[in-house]
Amino acid sequence: MFRGRSLFSGNSAMSVSSSSPLHNLLDYSAAYIYNTGMKQSIRILFGALALILVSCVSAEVQPAPPPEAVVPVEEPEPVPVADEEPSFDPAAVTQEEFDTTMVDVREFIGELNTIVRGRDYEGWVAHLGPSYFARISSPEFLLRVSQSAERLRTRGIVLSSARDYFLQVVVPSRTNDRVDDIEFVGHQRVMAYTLNAKGERLRLYDLENLGNGWRIIN
C-alpha cells in the first residue's frame, strides 16, 4: 500500500510521499518559517530589553533641575517712632501750666481755623509736624481716605496729594474747631478735645510743641 502525507488537511485527494522532493520542500519551508519566527522573536525581545536598559540609564544620569531662585521681597523702611516719656505723670501738671497751655492751644486752633477758612494750603502745612505731613502725603493714606469717606466716594473723588486732602477733607470740616479741654500725654504734648451737644469729648488734634510752637502730629 502506498504510504505518504496528505498535502491538505481533511479529505484531500492528493498525497505526498515522505521521500519526494515536495516533501523535502515542505520540511525546509516549515523549518525556515520556524527559525525565522524564532529569530524575529529574539530580536524583538533584545530590542525591548535594550530600550528598558537605555531608559533606566537615562533616568539615572539625568541631572535634577536646579531649584528656583528665591526673589527677596523688598520691605519698606520702618518709620522711626518717637520715644515716649514713661516717667511722665499727668498729675504733676500744675494748674498754671494747664491754664497757660490751654491758652496757647486755643490760640493755635484759632489761627488754624482762619487758615482753613481762607483755603491757605501753605499756611496749613506750616502748622503740621514733618512726620504727620509725610504720612498724609503717602499714596496709601490718600487711597484709604478716598475709599472710606462717604462724601468722596459718592462724588467719585480720588485724593492724589496732601493739597487734595486739605481742600476736599479739611476745608469742608475743620473751619470752626473749638477747644474745650486738653489732656497732657507728655511735657510738650497734649490732646485737644471739643465737646459735642451731648457733652461727649471728641478729639480734635494730637499736638506737640516742637520748639518752634505747637504743631499737629496726628
**Rounded Cα distance, 37 and 64, in Å:** 43
Q: For residue 187, what pLDDT is reported?
A: 87
Neighbours of 192 (CB within 10 A): 23
Q: For residue 160, what pLDDT is reported?
A: 96
Question: Do 114 and 30 share a domain, yes or no?
Answer: no
Q: For residue 87, what pLDDT is reported?
A: 82
Question: Residues 172, 173, 177, CA angle at the centre, nearest 5°?
Answer: 135
- pLDDT of 152 above 60: yes
Q: Give Cα separations from 190 to 11, 73, 97, 102 (angstroms).
A: 126, 39, 12, 10
Question: Do 45 and 122 share a domain, yes or no?
Answer: no
Question: Do 107 and 210 share a domain, yes or no?
Answer: yes
Considering only residues 106 and 63, tell me which one the structure prediction assigns the higher pLDDT.
106
- pLDDT of 17 above 80: no
The residue-averaged pLDDT of 189-209 equals: 95
Q: For residue 36, what pLDDT is reported?
A: 52
Task: Say how many domains are in the chain.
Answer: 2
Q: Residue 34 sits in which domain range?
A: 16-61
The residue-averaged pLDDT of 201-217 equals: 94
Q: Is residue 121 part of a domain?
A: yes
Question: Do 103 and 30 share a domain, yes or no?
Answer: no
Q: For residue 153, what pLDDT is reported?
A: 93
- 171 Cβ neighbours under 8 A, 6+ residues apart: 116, 117, 119
Give strand pairing partners of 16: 5
Q: Is residue 57 part of a domain?
A: yes
Q: For residue 2, what pLDDT is reported?
A: 42
Q: Is residue 108 part of a domain?
A: yes
The residue-averaged pLDDT of 18-28 equals: 48
The residue-averaged pLDDT of 72-97 equals: 61
Q: Which three cell numbers stand for residue 154?
A: 459718592
Q: Is residue 5 part of a domain?
A: no
Considering only residues 157 and 59, tell me which one the structure prediction assigns the higher pLDDT.
157
Considering only residues 24 and 110, tell me which one the structure prediction assigns the higher pLDDT.
110
Question: Residues 204, 110, 187, CA angle at the centre, nearest 5°?
Answer: 60
Q: For residue 212, what pLDDT is reported?
A: 87
Query: Model confidence over 86-113: pLDDT tens digits?
Result: 688 999 999 999 999 999 999 999 999 9
Query: Under a CB-based contact definition with an 8 Å cutoff, are residues 15 and 23 in contact?
Result: no
Q: Which three cell numbers stand for residue 194?
A: 471739643
Question: Do 104 and 170 share a domain, yes or no?
Answer: yes
Question: Do 57 and 99 share a domain, yes or no?
Answer: no
The string of DSSP codes covering 139-201 is: HHHHHHHHHH-HHHHHHT----SHHHHIIIIIHHH-SS----EEEEEETTEEEEEEE-TTS-E
- pLDDT of 42 above 90: no
Question: Do 161 and 202 share a domain, yes or no?
Answer: yes
Among residues of the chain, what percentage have pLDDT more than 90? Answer: 56
